[in-house]
């Protein structure tokens, strides 16, 4: 009865000459097995999953290799058979759950479809089953959950609902493509535990695609490492992460190992660069979210790196948007040292923002040159001087000038995020706000961006406000940590003191979420000792 999902020598390319996107990928997932597929962006992880479902983009084609589910060959199976397999025997979880729902349909109606097609349930029985599924994935009130529209759910709840949808057809295998990379650590852990429960409970085979090695260490039985379309290393999690053979695996591990680094503390008498006093903001009923800030007071000292932690919806991004002037505060004041100009109306903007989604912060229609020169158009510089300034900051962030003639779609996420930082530097800012600036990037790229930010902090004396949900980034970069919870500032402490003993209940939950569950802590496997965080791992397997 145990039927494996086997991929054998898979080759996918655009049909023409040139390097194939996937080059001889082989892997297998047995029932009840948790297999992780890791690698940087563009390494072919997602394409592997898409090949299994026969959902490759039109420009790509399967050139050779086989994909078998038990005895069924999927590569040659007719579309009607694939329709039964997709969602029926193989479920799929996507990275951005909200985008995968039809915004005009309630969650309950989404669930009825796979129940009808794959389980043959209709009417009252299907509705009952849908509620059962929602309860199973952790909806406290399944009825309310089924009645809500996708936009009414938080990111974490939406991914749970997507999990319910993926499990509705009672699949034997689940392909999970970065299901938690847009979620914070607490939610990530909840989702992965939920999947792991299905695995242990009824033998669901899981292929978990991610660039987050910590979660791999915590949950996966086996791991495969991909680099530019090839599997470069595979084996039991403990071995691959503990004694990596391939150079690429080692560099991934190095990049993931964000250790606290000695950042010289800013002098005590240093003045506040940025001061927020009792800042409040609430969105009126017709705005898309009701997330608000309730009386946040906070100072950023000159030359400081301050981390702002919080779950999705805690008001972190609202804070950033208020500081740069994209939104207006309802209450309170935001002042800059020496009344420096700020906000979109200021000619020279002393506070700059680096956005989360590098591809979104550049206009897809215009070249990087136009995008980068635009902020200088009001500076009175000649075209030649503008070009020189742009090239200078580009060199400062380590980018080649040839990129200037490209459009955003022709650049990688890491290149674009550097370009975003370069663009912010053009205006000689005093304060740089990074709103989840690295969470959409893979570990290697994240590391280079973080290193760049540290260098700029050192060389230019920039004050940084790092808004993130990633505890490791905070520990790696920041001198102080502020925690936002439901729009309020619940804790503000020195980084070391914060991780040693978080005071607020929510801070504790955040810190604890980086503790392993089933398997091991990444740092245990890789043998890195942690002086500042002596927590005991929770016993393996629940």
The contact set with another protein (CB under 8 A) reads 41-42, 46, 324-326, 344-349, 352-353, 355, 357, 359-366, 370-371, 374-375, 377-378, 407-409, 420, 423-424, 426-427
CB 20 within 8 A of CB 229: yes
What count of other Cβ atoms lies within 10 Å of the Cβ of residue 294? 15
Q: How far is the CB of 432 from another protein (least distance, A)?
A: 11
Alpha-carbon distance of 282 to 285, in angstroms, equals: 9
What count of other Cβ atoms lies within 10 Å of the Cβ of residue 99? 10
Q: How far is the CB of 12 from another protein (least distance, A)?
A: 15
Q: How far is the CB of 424 from another protein (least distance, A)?
A: 7
Q: How far is the CB of 364 from another protein (least distance, A)?
A: 4
- As a whole number of Å, the CA-based R_g of the chain is 24
DSSP state of 122: -
Pick 249 or 438: Cβ nearer another protein = 438
Q: How far is the CB of 485 from another protein (least distance, A)?
A: 26
Cβ neighbours for 164, distance < 8 A, ≥ 6 positions apart: 111, 130, 133, 134, 136, 137
Q: How far is the CB of 456 from another protein (least distance, A)?
A: 17
CA distances from 291 to 287, 312, 320 (A): 10, 10, 13
Q: How far is the CB of 362 from another protein (least distance, A)?
A: 5
DSSP state of 379: T
Alpha-carbon distance of 447 to 452, in angstroms, equals: 9
Per the document, the length of the chain is 542
| Tokens 């089924």 found at | 146
Pick 104 or 345: Cβ nearer another protein = 345
Pick 9 or 360: Cβ nearer another protein = 360
CA distances from 323 to 332, 375, 486, 541 (A): 12, 19, 18, 45
Pick 210 or 514: Cβ nearer another protein = 210
Pick 230 or 359: Cβ nearer another protein = 359
Pick 424 or 490: Cβ nearer another protein = 424
Pick 127 or 389: Cβ nearer another protein = 389
């Amino acid at each position: 009865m145990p039927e494996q999902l086997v991929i054998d020598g898979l080759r996918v390319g655009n049909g023409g000459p040139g390097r194939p996107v996937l080059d001889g990928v082989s892997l297998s997932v047995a029932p009840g097995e948790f297999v992780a597929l890791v690698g940087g962006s563009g390494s072919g992880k997602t394409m592997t999953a898409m090949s299994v479902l026969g959902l490759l983009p039109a420009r790509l084609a399967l050139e050779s290799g086989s994909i078998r589910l038990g005895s069924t060959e999927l590569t040659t199976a007719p579309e009607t058979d694939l329709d039964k397999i997709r969602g029926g025997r193989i479920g799929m979880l996507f990275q951005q759950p909200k985008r995968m729902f039809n915004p005009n349909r309630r969650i309950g109606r989404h669930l009825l479809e796979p129940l009808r097609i794959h389980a043959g349930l209709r009417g009252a029985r299907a509705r009952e089953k849908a509620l059962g599924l929602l309860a199973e994935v952790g909806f406290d009130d399944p009825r309310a959950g089924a009645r809500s529209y996708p936009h009414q759910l938080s990111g974490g709840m939406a991914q749970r609902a997507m999990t319910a949808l993926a499990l509705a057809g009672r699949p034997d295998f689940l392909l999970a493509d970065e299901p938690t990379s847009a979620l914070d650590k607490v939610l990530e852990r909840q989702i992965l535990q939920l999947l792991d429960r299905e695995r242990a409970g009824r033998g669901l085979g899981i292929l978990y695609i991610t660039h987050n090695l910590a979660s791999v260490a915590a949950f996966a039985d086996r791991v495969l490492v991909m680099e530019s379309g090839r599997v470069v290393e595979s084996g039991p999690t403990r071995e691959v992460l503990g004694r990596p053979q391939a150079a690429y695996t080692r560099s991934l591990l190095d990049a993931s190992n964000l250790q606290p680094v000695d950042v010289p503390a800013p002098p005590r008498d240093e003045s506040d660069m940025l001061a927020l006093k009792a800042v409040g903001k609430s969105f009126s009923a017709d705005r898309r979210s009701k997330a608000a800030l309730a009386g946040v007071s906070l100072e950023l000292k000159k030359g400081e790196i301050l981390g702002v932690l919080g779950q999705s919806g805690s008001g972190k991004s609202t804070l950033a948007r208020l500081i740069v002037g994209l939104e207006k505060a309802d209450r309170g004041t935001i002042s800059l040292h020496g009344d420096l100009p700020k906000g979109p109306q200021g000619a020279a903007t002393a506070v700059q923002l680096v956005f989360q989604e590098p591809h979104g912060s550049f206009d897809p229609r215009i070249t990087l040159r136009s995008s980068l020169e635009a902020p200088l158009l009001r500076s009175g510089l000649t075209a030649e001087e503008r070009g020189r300034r742009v090239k200078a900051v580009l060199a400062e962030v380590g980018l080649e000038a040839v990129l200037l003639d490209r459009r955003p779609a022709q650049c990688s996420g890491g290149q674009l995020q550097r370009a975003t930082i370069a663009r912010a530097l053009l205006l000689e800012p005093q304060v740089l706000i990074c709103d989840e600036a690295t969470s959409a990037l893979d570990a290697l790229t994240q590391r280079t961006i973080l290193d760049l930010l540290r260098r700029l902090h050192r060389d230019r004396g920039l004050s940084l406000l790092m808004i993130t949900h990633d505890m490791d980034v905070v520990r790696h970069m920041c001198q102080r940590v502020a925690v936002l919870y439901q729009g309020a500032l619940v804790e503000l402490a020195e980084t070391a003191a914060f991780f040693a003993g978080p005071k607020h209940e929510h801070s504790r939950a955040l810190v604890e979420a980086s503790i392993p569950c089933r398997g091991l802590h990444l740092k245990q496997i890789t043998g890195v000792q942690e002086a500042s965080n002596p927590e005991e791992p929770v016993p393996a397997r629940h």
